[in-house]
Amino acid sequence: MPTPVTFAGTKQFVGIANETSQGTPVAMTSTVLVSEVKPKDNPSWLEDKSWRGSMATDAFAKIPGVSHAEIDLGGPAYGDGLGFFLRNILGDLSITGTSTGSGSTTLTAAAAVGATSITTQATVPASTAVQIGTGATSEVFTTGTPSGSGPYTIPLSTPTGGLRYAHASAEAVQPVTGPYTQAHSLLNSGSGQPISHTITHFLGPTATSGARQYPGACFSELSLKWNAESELLTWSGKATTWPSVALGAMPVAAPSTVLPVASWRMKLGIGGPASGATLINTVTDGEITIKREVNPFYTVTGTQNPYIIQRGGLSVDGKLTFVAADESPLLYMLNNTQPQLQILLDNGLTGTNKIAFQIDCQIAAFTDMDPDGSKSAVEYGGSFSSILNTVNAGGSGGYSPIKVSITNNAPAGTY
């Protein structure tokens, strides 16, 4: 009797990497910790049902048509992993670091989008992490070897691809270190298409590597959920990808040591920030869901794969459950106050160990709110939609219904 061959599901893991060309698979650069992953290849079939003088209605042939794949995944929200998926669905990203307190200088000339070097008043040593600009257009790079005698030319080595935003002469260039804060908003510049990712799934049965890759991943949904009594902050997502391909060499899991955060640590503000008079102490649980139109387009190029997986419009909605201290939740809807909503959650640590989530919806329109007297304490439960606004917009301008900022110690170029 032959020795049985089996594969243990507990050994599976998921990796991710940023793509430079949508649909061209790249080796995983990070392990993303998930507790659920459901990939599915979706080939289509074209049937030949031409009449042949036979008493049959089935196809005489099934001919392969175009193909794509889908992948659902999720689990606890890790402060150093969620950023991949937020950038994938939203697109606009600005990064700020923690000032080292020395070495600050300024640009001596304007720097255009895509520039791979900058000119500064003072030199900056090689391998220095610097923040260029401030606010919505701030970005962080690791520098290369400087040249010149003043002004100095400073290469921007990591991440590759050059500046995402234009910067004016005299803008600040400040050496920084971790922790870093990445602010994610809706991308409105250029083609409006966010970065795509290759998702690697090690499961076991695939020959040689034990893993399949799902390139060109574009997320159509990302949800964040919490329950103060019983849950960590969790997330789930849905993506459309190119058809899966077998990976040639076995990937290696390299999970981080960052831990998820318990929901009870959350603070929530309505009508202002999550502090002071607008801090709300009665929310028990909730969720926020970002949805995006995603459609694969196929052209006559001799391949079953999509020509592009196109991202379209984006919307944000959510749900909240309140202990009914008063009628305030109901009045948000009846009076159509459309208040500001802010959510803060951190792990209570400091320095490079700090993990923090901040979710901002500047205009939250509550669309239903129902009383519930079935429990020992009366509750209100209802839904809201986040309205497009300029306050939540990022460096690409325009409007955004949400801004999600995460603080962690991920270096420049991670996302």
pLDDT tens profile 155-168: 999 999 999 999 99
The Cβ-side half-sphere exposure at 168, using a 13 Å CA radius, reads 2
Q: Domain coordinates of the chain in residue numbers? A: 10-40+65-90+187-408, 96-178
244 Cβ contact list (under 8 Å, min separation 6): 39, 41, 69, 212, 213, 214
Q: How far apart are CA 87 and CA 219, in angstroms?
A: 10
Residue 403 pairs in a beta bridge with 360
The string of pLDDT tens digits covering residues 232-262 is 999 999 999 999 999 999 999 999 999 999 9
Q: Is 10 helix (H, G, I), strand (E, B) or coil?
A: helix
pLDDT digits (tens, 9 = 90+) for 207-230: 999 999 999 999 999 999 999 999
Which of these, 179, 184, 182, 183, lies nearest to 99 by C-alpha position? 179
Residue 192: the pLDDT is: 97
User: pLDDT at position 388, please?
Assistant: 98
| pTM of the shown model | 0.96
**Torsion sign over Cα 317, 323, 326, 327:** positive
Residues 6+ apart with CB under 8 A from 257: none
Band of pLDDT at residue 57, cut at 50, 70 and 90: confident
Percentage of the chain exceeding pLDDT 90? 98
What pLDDT is stored for residue 176 in this prediction? 98
